[in-house]
Amino acid sequence: MTFPLYGNLFSNLPDAAENEVFEDLLTHKHFRIERIISTGQATPPGQWFDQDDDEWVALLRGAADIIFEGDAQPQHLEPGDFLYIPARRRHRVEWTDPLQPTIWLAIRFRPLSPSSAQEAS
């Protein structure tokens, strides 16, 4: 096996002062788990993420605002909050805490069927 069998999500934090850092923790043919570290980064104005995969993300440390296209207000996330983002649901990161690392745990997987997505909400 080439992935770490043991680790700590809060240790060995890379410097994310200039750019967000994406680290694969576990990849599998059906899913990918990654740690994302942000320090003040946001999606550039006018740009939207439009992903092929579904994503479930949990905020472990720091704070962030995510907005979905068409929504009037962003969803504010604090430690312990999680969010399910269906494939093709356009969204953007409006803000991450510039004073401390924001640590995300993201699980990306092939899209759920429409009925499964409703069950997940």
Task: List the alpha helices (DSSP H) in the chain.
Answer: 114-120
Q: Which domains does the chain have, with CATH numbers?
A: 26-120 (2.60.120.10)
Give 52's Cβ-side CA count (13 Å radius).
2
Neighbouring C-beta atoms of residue 55, cutoff 10 Å: 19
- So what's the pLDDT on residue 10? 93
- So what's the pLDDT on residue 18? 87
Determine how β-strand 102-109 pairs with β-strand 54-61. Answer: antiparallel
- So what's the pLDDT on residue 119? 54
Taking the model in full, what pTM does it have?
A: 0.85
Tell me the C-alpha distance between 121 and 114, whole Å. Answer: 11
pLDDT tens for the chain, residues 1 to 121? 456 678 899 998 888 888 999 999 999 999 999 999 999 999 999 999 999 999 999 999 999 999 999 999 999 999 999 999 999 999 999 999 999 999 999 999 998 766 555 555 5
DSSP 9: T
Contacts of 116 (CB under 8 A, 6+ apart): none
Neighbouring C-beta atoms of residue 54, cutoff 10 Å: 21
